[in-house]
Structure 1
Amino acid sequence: MSFPVANSTTSFWRGETHPLDDHRTTEKLPSEVDVVIIGAGYAGASIAYHLLEQGRGASKPLSIAILEAREACSGATGRNGGHLKPDPYHRAADALKIYGREAAEEVAAFEARQIGEIKKLVEKENVDCDFVMTRAADVCLFEQAHSELKDGFDRLNAADVSTIQNVFYSDGKTAEGVSGVKGAKACFTYPTAHMWPYKLVLHLLSQAVSRGVNLQTHTPVQNVVRSVGSGSPRAWTVNTPRGSVQASKVIYASNAYTSALLPEYKQAIVPVRGICCHIVPTKKPAPLLSNSYMMRIAPDEFDYLIPRTDGSIIVGGGRRDYYRHLNEWYDVADDSKLIEPAKKYFDGYMQRHFNGWEDSGAYTNKIWTGIMGYSSDGFPHVGEVPHKPGQYICAGFTGHGMPQIFLSAKAVATMVLENLPTEKADVPRLYKTTSARLASKRNVTIEDWEKSMKVDRARL
């Protein structure tokens, strides 16, 4: 069981914190509320936002409390790579193979919709979060990645999955010119966006607090138990070191830390540590990049990158130097330390990979770690917690939460307000949390690692 640790590394995004970062709306916890949301990251803030939006005009507004173990947005979203990057073809190809066309269409289209939804939100509310719409370039630097991705791309085309129409494929003849990446064997480009994620989440939290939500940071939840006399509307008691809150509904927006409170999710959502950095060129002008990137460099090595409008770069990944060491990243919830084997990986990164950056003087000026919640089957867990009526979950985003969370949170809000089952909410069927998924022994994270280790041994 893993709870958030103290003294986490400081990400670039959290270099300047918002006034709500360590906010407590009231000195003491409320004794009871309609809804407790556990976690003040992207999922928790989005759920609160949607509950308020969908509840406009109600005769009696919901009372909502958000309980956060550390600071607001101090988990995965405050430490990620800044992407809002739907996957129109890679995960969808896996879904097509295992679950069929309709499931693949749902997954890919649901992710693609998030860009438009966030664009509307940013424009409607004038959110200051450096939001940029652009194109993603998924670049293959080794032939195996090229052939596997092209096969999935072709299968989705043949199945007429809609999102594939927005993907442009470049082969080895043009991939380096299209991407600007040295040695590119292939490139797939498609619509995407990037932003300052911490600022988006704190905007959502600010809106929630201004509309009456009680935000309590530095208030870790220890457990959730049935209230004494559970026939009352406040069926659940949420316990913290600062006291207890009784609630009618409890929503777990706790991602990597979910199993600490819901042990039945121990195998289903596992904490995975990643590493990310901020790179700054010192000699002007370094070439300005217009795309965001996924760099598939070698079987154990893929990185993700966004260019910021100030010319600096955010890059995460570094798996080449630590992936084989399972104890460095799998089932690890400690973001107070760097991943030691990878801490020098990003030095000289832009000079190695991008044409025109050789004399940029680019260097790594900040590096940090973050904890993601990896789902054992690769899909999030969204909906009512099995056998616990009135408890809901929105977690397990496998390092890919930015194009999944906002509309998943909207679906959870609808379930809570209208007492809808997951099947009736607007969320892909593969996201529904079920007893069968929790009981499954399959673990795609470990399967992929074992496959990679087998390839490594074959090279020796």
Structure 2
Amino acid sequence: MSFVQALLSNPAIPVQDRQRALDRVFSDPGLPTTNSTSSFWLRSPHPDLANAQSATLPSEAEVVIIGSGVTGTSVARTLLKSRKAGKSGTTRPAVVILEARDICSGATGRNGGHILETAEKFASLEDTYGLEAAKRIMRFRLAHLREILDAAQEYGLTQDCQARRVQFLSIYFEEEGWKDARERLRRLKEGLAEETKEWRAYERGEIPEEFCLPHAQGIVAGPAGAIWPYRFITGVLSRLRREFPQDLMIETNTPITGIQENPDAGDDPLRYTISASRGMIRARHVIHCTNAHVSHLVPSLRGRIYPIRGQMSAQHAGQKFRCQGEEHSWIFNYDRGFDYLTQLPQSEAGQMMMFGGGFAQGEGGGIADLGIAADSELSLYADIHLSGALSVVFGRDNWGSVPRASVDKMWTGNMGFSADGLPWVGQLPASLTKRGVHGEGYGAEWVSAAFSGEGMVLAWLCGKALATMLLIHDDQLLQTESRDLSWFPEQMLVTEERIEKAVLPRYI
């Protein structure tokens, strides 16, 4: 979170601009907008799920999941595959997913599809939490490449969602940044020698010509992945719905207007009443998987979890550029900020360059995007930057001309950031929800959110961990094989201590 704190403390940015950003951070993010920018990933809506809705909103459910992206889908998958089938003896569905807009139309349908872990994170984690915690968190993050690609294969989605392994190239253009990067790589390889055997550094004179990176001072390279996120998530949900037709219901275009808990429910396990645009549904558990919008329904999380607007594009490559969609992905590190890029392999969608970033080049160095919870508008300066950067970083001689409009789509999305840079995962205490005292073995509100722009190496397993916590908590649903959580970093848990400490200052 150092870049956010740097923005908020930067004397070169007018105090009023910084305070306005903080005011937005502590404001209600509201519901997702109805007039969002058009994401390339959503170009072909899923024929069965895009607007999935039952004729009448179900009146009851064991678990209501709010949000239909990576996190909500991972939670649903774990619950459905691990729960005790038929334990409650009721006919109500086990899981109901509620989505304010079309299926998977939030951050998951707008991100870069980049399953990427670089050497940047480890050193700061070690400095903050110590060596052993840093190693555990990094192992958790690194595991996402295998977990996501394995899930795509399990459901027969590998080809459709273009799930693939690539080599990431993290490029540095100036010597000071490259010097720091080498030191961070050294620390990572020293701390996780076995896990980073494939990682290496290319000094300027060692960079292969076929990389087409004439301005690079140095490159860190290692294993990564890329995926069409919308196709992956809708594919998983479609197969889960076929596998569990009585236990999974998906209700799109059903925004939530409120949640009430009845602490005097007695023997009634359905403690929660969720009010939605299409009616009300009573539930045993409520799970918040709404990331940037989570504090709309849990106001006490404002300042702890907050939205930031990000920008993505789909662009045509230059005529001279060799398609590397099944070989590489890229991170371009500048003196201020970075950009990220994958390229689609040859398909009906073309060899599109999926290029995102430009945050530091935005208005006020990004301060104008801090606290923005709407994806309905573009950042002009990010647009200018993203629209012209690729021919420069790859070299105009390597890029060539583009025989059409270079930018096919430009869109925005909202990321949920946390004040301490880690996800929030676990049961929400009454001190945050203000909705009563939870009874043991009964209903509870849960959260898995705040991936700070790195959801592809955090969200899937955070969802799995949260579902496992719920199954352990509620012995009416538990299966014994779901008890192991030794792999989950405790630093990501919701705790009273963290609630107290992990919050941005309210005023400059």
TM (norm. structure 1) is 0.90
2:54 maps to what in 1? 26
> What is the correspondence of 1:218-229 to structure 2 with a 5 Å cutoff?
218-227=253-262, 229=264
* Amino acid corresponding to residue 245 of structure 1 in structure 2: I
Task: Name the SS for the 2:312 alignment partner.
Answer: strand
Tell me if structure 2 keeps the 8 A contact 1:176–1:182. no
1:46 equivalenced with 2:58 (yes/no): no
Which aligned pairs between 1:160-309 and structure 2 lie closer than 5 A?
160=192, 162-175=194-207, 177=209, 179-210=211-242, 211-212=244-245, 213-227=248-262, 229-231=264-266, 232-281=268-317, 283=319, 286-289=321-324, 290-298=327-335, 300-309=336-345
Q: 2:400 aligns with which of 350, 353, 359?
A: 359
8 A contact 2:468–2:485 mirrored in 1: no
Contact 1:84 / 1:193 at 8 angstroms: preserved in 2?
Answer: yes
- SS of 1:256's equivalent? helix
Question: How far, CA to CA, are the matches of 2:424 and 2:165 in structure 1?
Answer: 28
1:166 partner SS: coil
Do structure 1's residue 371 and structure 2's residue 414 form an aligned pair?
Answer: yes
CA shift for structure 1 position 159: 3.5
Higher mean displacement: 140-149 or 265-274? 140-149
1:138 matched to which residue of 2?
170
CA 323–441 in structure 1, closer or farther in 2 if over 3 Å, else same = farther
Letter in 2 for 1:305: L
Give the equivalent residue in structure 1 for 2:477. none
- 2:173 maps to 1:123: no
Selected match of 2:461 from 391, 402, 407: 407
Q: Which residue of 2 aligns with 1:454?
A: none
Match of 1:331 in 2: 371
Q: What RMSD over aligned residues (CA atoms) do the two structures have, in Å?
A: 2.5
Q: Is 1:428–2:489 an aligned residue pair?
A: yes
Shift of 1:58: 5.6
What SS does the aligned partner of 2:332 have?
A: strand
Query: Does the C-alpha gap of structure 1 residues 323 and 379 become closer, same or farther in structure 2, counting only changes over 3 Å?
Result: farther
Q: Deviation at 1:178?
A: 7.3
How far residue 291 of structure 1 moved from its aligned partner, in angstroms, is 0.9
Q: Mean alpha-carbon deviation: is it higher for 123-132 or for 60-69?
A: 60-69
CA contact (8 A) 2:337 2:358 kept: yes
Contact 1:225 1:237 in 2 (8 A): yes
Q: Deviations over 1:403-423 (max 9, x none)?
A: 111111111111112218999
Q: What is the CA–CA distance in structure 1 between the aligned matches of 2:173 and 2:365, rounded to whole Å? A: 23
Alpha-carbon distance between aligned partners in 2 of 1:161 and 1:428, rounded to the nearest angstrom = 20
8 Å contact kept, 2:64–2:97? yes
Q: Does 1:5 align with 2:33?
A: yes
Which secondary structure does the structure 2 equivalent of 1:96 belong to? helix
- The CA deviation at 1:162 is 4.3
Distance 1:381 1:49 in 2: 20
Percent identity between the two aligned chains: 28
Residue aligned with 2:195, SS: helix
Letter in 1 for 2:76: A
Q: 2:424 aligns with which of 381, 384, 389?
A: 381
Q: Distance in 1 between matches of 2:469 and 2:174?
A: 44
**Partners of 1:225 and 1:238 within 8 A in 2:** yes
**Which of 298, 314, 319 matches 2:359?**
319
One-letter identity of the residue aligned with 1:186: G
CA contact (8 A) 2:260 2:274 kept: yes
Inter-CA distance 165–78: structure 2 relative to 1 (3 Å threshold)? same
Question: 1:235 & 1:129 partners in 2: Cα distance?
Answer: 39
Change (3 A) 1:373 1:50: same
User: Which stretch of the first structure deviates more once superposed, 328-337 or 179-188?
Assistant: 179-188
1:342 Cα deviation after fit: 2.0
Cα offset, 1:52, TM superposition: 1.1
Q: Tell me if the contact between 1:267 and 1:438 (Cα under 8 Å) persists in the aligned partners.
A: no
Q: Find 2:122's aligned residue among 88, 92, 97.
A: 92
Structure 2 SS opposite 1:293:
strand
Picking from 343, 350, 366, the partner of 2:390 is: 350
Give distance in 2, aligned partners of 1:411 and 1:391.
Answer: 15
Structure 1 unaligned regions, length at least 5: 451-460
SS of structure 2 residue aligned to 1:345: helix
Quote the residue 2:11 is aligned against: none
- Structure-1 separation of matches of 2:173 and 2:483: 40
Distance 2:470 2:374 in 1: 32
The answer to whether the Cα contact below 8 Å between 1:219 and 1:241 also exists between their aligned partners in 2 is yes
- CA distance in 1 between counterparts of 2:122 and 2:363 reads 24
Secondary structure of the 1:34 match is: strand
Distance 2:484 2:132 in 1: 14
| Alpha-carbon distance between aligned partners in 2 of 1:381 and 1:151, rounded to the nearest angstrom | 29
- In the alignment, is the contact (CA less than 8 A) between 2:289 and 2:448 conserved in 1? yes
Aligned partner of 1:103 among 130, 133, 139: 133
Question: Matched residue pairs, number?
Answer: 443
Report how far residue 241 of structure 1 moved.
Answer: 2.2
Runs of 5+ unmatched residues, structure 2: 1-27, 439-443, 475-481
Shift of 1:236: 1.3
Cα distance per residue 1:356-409 (max 9 Å; x no partner): 533142711211111000111111111111236411111100110011111111
Matched, 1:66 2:59: no
Q: Conserved in 1, the CA contact under 8 Å of 2:155 and 2:239?
A: no
2:292–2:417 contact (8 Å) kept in structure 1: yes
CA deviation map 1:146-182 (0-9, x unaligned):
2222222222334446433332112232246474323
The residue identity in structure 2 corresponding to 1:134 is: V
Q: What is the aligned partner in structure 2 of residue 340 from structure 1?
A: 380
SS at match of 2:284: strand
Given the superposition, is the C-alpha separation of residues 20 and 148 from structure 1 closer, same or farther in structure 2, using an over 3 Å criterion? Answer: farther
